[in-house]
Amino acid sequence: MSISDLRRALIASTIGGACLALVASPQDPSMTSLSVHPVWAIALILAARYGARGLLSLPALTGSLLVAEWVTGGTGAAALARISRGGDLAIWVVAVGVAVVGTAHERRKAILAQRLDAAELRATRAEAAADQLGEAALALRDRCDRSETSLVFLADVAARMDDPDPTGAGQAALELAMARTGAGAGFVQILDGSGRLRTLTARGRWSAETFWPPALFRDLTAHTALTRARAVAAHEVPGVRADDSDLVAPLIASNGRRIGVLALRRVPFPKLTSAVREDLTAIARWAAGSLARTVVVDSGPAPGTAKRGVETKHVAT
């Protein structure tokens, strides 16, 4: 407790003690007929509140009795005589005991405050250590990603990417994209004859509610990537929803036609860098070259534009 609070308490006790004595006994503020003056109750309260420093209220209250005596025309001798009376001295002894207990509580409070500060410091250091462990985990994950994209893995993906079955080619592209980005799920969607995206293949659990993405999926991130003809992240799309993809690259054939999208879910935010997007764009370009030979390509307008008439054609293998 600060010194200023104690000073205000002593001033208030002095004024309050004088007022109490004058109101309770205007003719005899020292209350010589009583064995114990009631004003010492204030000293007990302050001793309990402030500990040893609260004992300063004893001389302060004695001064208030003197002031009360002077106000009523007395000499103050009766107020000073109370100091030597047995009942008042007993109360003073009790006040000292209460002050000792109060001081012990104040010391315990200070110790607990120090322990709390030390615990907060340890918590701050632990949080910093956790952040460092998170960064180390990301670095280890990057190393794991590099091991997953080894030459053997890439050779297997390259062989499967040329699969005449579009589903197999799409799965190979999706596995390579997920290994590079660390995504938890993804899909490959192809434009059908009506200019709508339909799922060709999917991998991983899509969300907590559904395992597979819907066959006709209205993914705002995917449509934006297809419209802009470049890789797009969800945080770059206004009005994106919780079930929309995190990172999408369009599938663009060699003749410039947009044939679909490669979309990923639950991509770690540090993976949304330009380098990763360039790699995802390269994977999508690779997959588009294979898929354009095996799927029906929509020759109509891109999604989001005015629909003038749709013509579909099958690109020969």
* pLDDT tens figures, 144-198: 666 555 666 777 777 787 777 888 888 888 888 888 888 888 889 888 877 788 8
User: Which one of 1-10, 233-242, 292-301 scores highest in mean pLDDT?
Assistant: 233-242
Measured distance CA(77)–CA(80) in Å, rounded? 5
User: Residue holding tokens 């003809």?
Assistant: 229
The confidence score (pLDDT) of residue 301 equals: 42
Q: What is the pLDDT of residue 302?
A: 41
String of DSSP letters for the chain: --HHHHHHHHHHHHHHHHHHHHHH-SS-TT-TTSSS-TTHHHHHHHHHHHGGGGGGHHHHHHHHHHHHHHHTT--SHHHHHGGGSHHHHHHHHHHHHHHHHHHHHHHHHHHHHHHHHHHHHHHHHHHHHHHHHHHHHHHHHHHHHHHHT-HHHHHHHHHHHT-SSHHHHHHHHHHHHHHHHT-SEEEEEEE-TTS-EEEEEEES---SS-SS--SB---HHHHHHHHHTS-EEGGGSTT--TTS-SEEEEEE-TTS-EEEEEEEES--GGG-SHHHHHHHHHHHHHHHHHHTTTSEEE-SPPTTS------EEE---
How confident is the model at residue 92, as a pLDDT?
80
* Mean pLDDT within 4-12: 74
Q: In the chain, what are the domains?
A: 3-116 (no CATH), 151-314 (3.30.450.40)
Q: How far is CA 116 from CA 122, 128, 288, 290, in A?
A: 10, 18, 60, 64
Integer angstrom CA distances of residue 102 from 52, 55, 251: 7, 11, 77
pLDDT band of 249, cuts 50, 70, 90: very high
Q: Which of 96, 72, 94, 92 is nearest to 83 (CA)?
A: 92
Determine phi and psi for 250, rounding to 5 degrees.
-75, 150
- pLDDT (average), residues 6-31: 75
Strands 247-252 and 232-233: antiparallel
State pTM to two decimals: 0.45
Average pLDDT over the chain, rounded to an integer: 77
The answer to whether residue 216 scores a pLDDT higher than 90 is no
Residue 250, pLDDT above cutoff 90: yes
pLDDT(317) > 70: no
**pLDDT, greater one: 314 or 191:** 191
**Is the pLDDT higher at 302 or at 283?**
283
Q: What is the pLDDT of residue 26?
A: 77
Whether the predicted pLDDT of 53 surpasses 80: no
Average pLDDT over every residue of 275-301? 75
Arithmetic mean of pLDDT, 104-124? 86
| 203 Cα distance to chain centroid | 31
Check whether 215 has a pLDDT greater than 80: no
Task: Assess whether pLDDT exceeds 50 at residue 315.
Answer: no
pLDDT at 202 over 70: yes
Tell me: the pLDDT tens digits for 59-84? Answer: 777 777 777 777 777 777 777 777 77
* Residue 222, pLDDT above cutoff 80: yes
Tell me the pLDDT band of 262, cut-offs 50, 70 and 90.
very high
